[in-house]
Structure 1
Amino acid sequence: MSVDLHTHSNVSDGTEAPAEVIAAAAAAGLEGLALTDHDTTAGWDEAIAAARQHGVMLLPGMEITTLTENGISVHLLSYLHDPLHAGLSSAVAEARDGRMHRARRIAERLSVDFPLTWETVEQHVSTGATVGRPHLADALVGIGAVADRQEAFDHLLHAGSPYYVSQHNMHPTTAIELVRAAGGVPVLAHGMASARGRTVSAAQLEEMVDAGLAGVEVHHRDNPESGRTVLRALAARHDLLVTGSSDYHGTGKANLIGENTTDWDTVETLCGLATGIEPIRP
C-alpha cells in the first residue's frame, strides 16, 4: 500500500482544487495522500469530504516555509496538527501576510519592464489561497512574457534576478517546536534539493533533530542521490521517519502524483506520533 505525503492544491500554488487532488490520487491507485498546501489549512474541509467519497486515506497537513540564520530556505511538512492551535496558526498567518507583501513588491519590480499589474496577478490566485511566486509566474505566462512557469522561474523569479525580493520567515527550529506543540509531526521536505539553492549543513540538520524533527523526505525528485545518502544517514542515526512524496502541483509542475510514495508501515508510525488530529480513514 502506498501513500503520497506531499501534494498541493489551488489553495496554495497547485492548479487543482483539493477535491481534484484527491480524485487524482484515487485515479492513480494510491491508498492515501497528504494535502500540504503552503502555510494554510484552508483546503482541508474540501479534501476530507473528497477523501471519504473516494475511499482514500487522508493526512491533512501543511508545508511551512522557514529560513535559517544564514539565509537558507527550509521547507517543513507538518502532518495531523491541530489547525486551531494558537501559536502555529498565528505564525503561519504572519507567513501568509509576508508572502503577500513579497509578491506585491516583486510585481512592482516586474511592472517596470513588463505590462504586469497586481490585478493581473490576482486573477491567477484562487479565493483565499496563499500567494506565492508561482502565481506571479502564471501572470507572466498570461501576458505572454514567458511560455510557462519554469521559464518564469529560470529567467525572472529566481533568487539572483533583479526582480527577486527576499522574505523573512521563522527559523526551522521554531517551526518544528510549534508543530510539535500543535500535536503535529514535522518532516523536512526535500532537504537536499541543491538545484533549488543552498542546502543546510550537517550541524543545522542536527539542530533540527534536537528541536523535535520527526522525519526526512528522502524520496523526492529534487534530492540528488548524494543528498539522499546524507538524509538516510541522519535518519539512521536518530531513528527518524524516511518518507517519499511527489510534491504534486497539478499542471503547475512536471511532478506526477504518486511518482514517489511512502510505505504503509511508515505512515502508520507517523500517524501514531500525532496528537493533534486523526487521519481520515476510508
Structure 2
Amino acid sequence: MRIDLHAHSTASDGTDTPAELVRNAAASGLDVVALTDHDTVAGHAEARAALPEGLTLVTGAELSCRLDGVSLHMLAYLFDPEEPELARERELVRDDRVPRARGIVAKLQDLGIPVTWEQVARIAGDGAVGRPHIATALVELGVVGSVNDAFGSLLASDGPAYVEKHELDPFEALRLIKGAGGVAVFAHPLAVKRGRCVPESAIAALAAAGLDGIEVDHMDHDAPTRARLRGTAADLGLLTTGSSDYHGSRKTCHLGEYTTDPEIYGEIVRRATGAFPVPGAGG
C-alpha cells in the first residue's frame, strides 16, 4: 500500500489541477493521496469528482504558522472544512497573500530584478498566490536556476526579498485543527535549506500541546536529519510520516517519492473525527 500525504494543486501553488493530481496519483501507483493545498480547501470538490477507482483521497490543508519569528507549516488532515473558527483563520491567511506577494515583487524590483506583478499573477492563475509563483517568475527570467534555488536565496526567510504574512501561532493552529476534528502533523520541520527552523525544543512543546506527528521522510531532509527526527518522534511519542510535497512541474519531486507507513496512516484515520477518507469510484 503506497500512501503520499502531502501534495498541492492549482488551488494553491501546484501546477496540476485537483483532477489532474488525483489521476496522476493513480497513474503513479499510489493507493492513497492527500490534497493539502496552502490554507485552502478549494480543490477538494474537484478532486473528489475526478477520483479514480482504487485511489483514496485524504482531504487536508497545509496551514501557514509562525513561532518566535520563524515560519513553519502544519499539515491538517481530515478536519471539518465547515468548522467556523478554522475556516475564518484560513481566510485571513489567504487574504494576506496578495499584499504579501506584491511586497515581495517590490523588494525584488528594488534589487534590480525585472519581475512584475502581471507576470506573477499570470503564473498563479486562479490559485492562492504565494512564493512558489514568484520563484517560478524568477526561473522564467533566468535569475535562478530552479524554484528551490529561489527559496534558498532571495525568497528564504532570511533572504533580501522576504516579506512576512499573516500566519497562525502553531499552538493556536493545533487548537483549531483539533476543534475541527482533524489530525496535525508538522511539515518538514528541519528543512534548513528553506531558511530558519524552529528548535527541537519547540517540537517537544508542540507535542505536549497535542501535535500528532512530524513529517520525516521528505526531499528537504537528508538521511542524518531523517534519523534524528525519528529519534525525536520516538522520544515524544509522535507519528512519523513520509510525503512527496508534490507541486507538479514547479518542483523536482514526484508523487510517491516518499511515502507513509500504512499502520501510521491507519492511526491518522482512527484519530480523525472531522472527516473520512474518500474512496475512489471511478470519477
TM norm structure 1: 0.92
Contact 2:241 2:260 in 1 (8 A): yes
> Do the aligned partners of 1:11 and 1:126 also contact (CA within 8 Å) in 2?
no
* 1:123 aligned onto 2:122: yes
CA distance in 1, matches of 2:73, 2:187: 5
Q: State the SS of the aligned residue for 2:13.
A: coil
* Corresponding position of 1:180: 178
The aligned runs of 1:209-220 (5 Å cut-off) are 209-220=207-218
Distance 1:234 1:150, change over 3 A: closer
Larger deviation, residues 194-203 vs 82-91: 194-203
CA distance in 1, matches of 2:9, 2:243: 15
Which of 192, 195, 212 in structure 2 is aligned with 1:194? 192
In structure 2, the CA distance between the partners of 1:16 and 1:72, relative to structure 1 (3 Å rule), is: same
CA RMSD, aligned part only?
1.8
**Residue identity opposite 1:64 in structure 2:** L
Partner of 2:61: 62
Q: Quick one: which amino acid aligns to residue 202 of structure 1?
A: E
- Give the Cα–Cα distance (whole angstroms) in 2 for the partners of residues 244 and 120 of structure 1: 34
Label 1:258 to 1:268 Cα distance change in 2 as closer, same or farther (>3 A): same
Structure 2 Cα separation of the partners of residues 14 and 208 of structure 1: 28
Match status 1:105 vs 2:103: yes
Call closer, same or farther: CA 1:143–1:183 in 2, change over 3 Å: same
Structure 1 residue matching 2:278: 3-state secondary structure: coil
* Cα distance in 2 between the residues matched to 1:31 and 1:4: 8
Matched residue count = 279
Q: Distance in 2 between matches of 1:235 and 1:147?
A: 35
Tell me, what secondary structure is at the counterpart of 1:212? coil
Find the aligned partners of 1:203 and 1:161 in 2 and give their Cα distance.
25
Identical-residue share of aligned pairs (%): 44
Q: Tell me the alpha carbon deviations over residues 219-267 of structure 1, each in whole angstroms, 9 at most, x when there is no partner.
A: 1121233332332223223432211111111111111110111122221
Q: Which residue of 2 aligns with 1:272?
A: 270
Shift of 1:67: 0.7
Q: CA offset at residue 144 of structure 1?
A: 4.9
Partner of 2:96: helix, strand, or coil?
A: helix
Q: CA deviation at 1:142?
A: 3.8
Q: How many angstroms apart in 2 are the aligned matches of 1:177 and 1:217?
A: 19
Answer yes or no: is the 8 Å Cα contact 1:193–1:224 preserved in 2.
no
- Distance in 1 (CA, whole Å) between partners of 2:197 and 2:133 is 25
Q: What SS is found at the alignment partner of 1:124? A: helix
State the secondary structure of the residue aligned to 1:200. coil
Q: Identify which range, 1-10 or 140-149, moves more after superposition.
A: 140-149
- What is the one-letter code of the residue matched to 2:261? D
1:175-210 CA-to-partner distances (Å, cap 9, x unmatched) read: 111101010000011112122222222321111012
Aligned 8 A contact 2:157 2:194 in 1: no
* 1:79-116 deviation digits (Å, cap 9, x = unpaired): 00011111111111111122222101111222342333
Aligned partner letter, 1:49 = A
Q: CA deviation at 1:215?
A: 1.0
Distance across 2 between alignment mates of 1:32 and 1:62: 16
**Runs of at least 5 residues in structure 1 that lack an aligned partner in the other structure:** none
* TM-superposition CA deviations, 1:31-75 (whole Å, max 9, x none): 111011100000000111122x34301101100111112x22211
Kept in 1, the 8 Å contact 2:19–2:47? The answer is yes
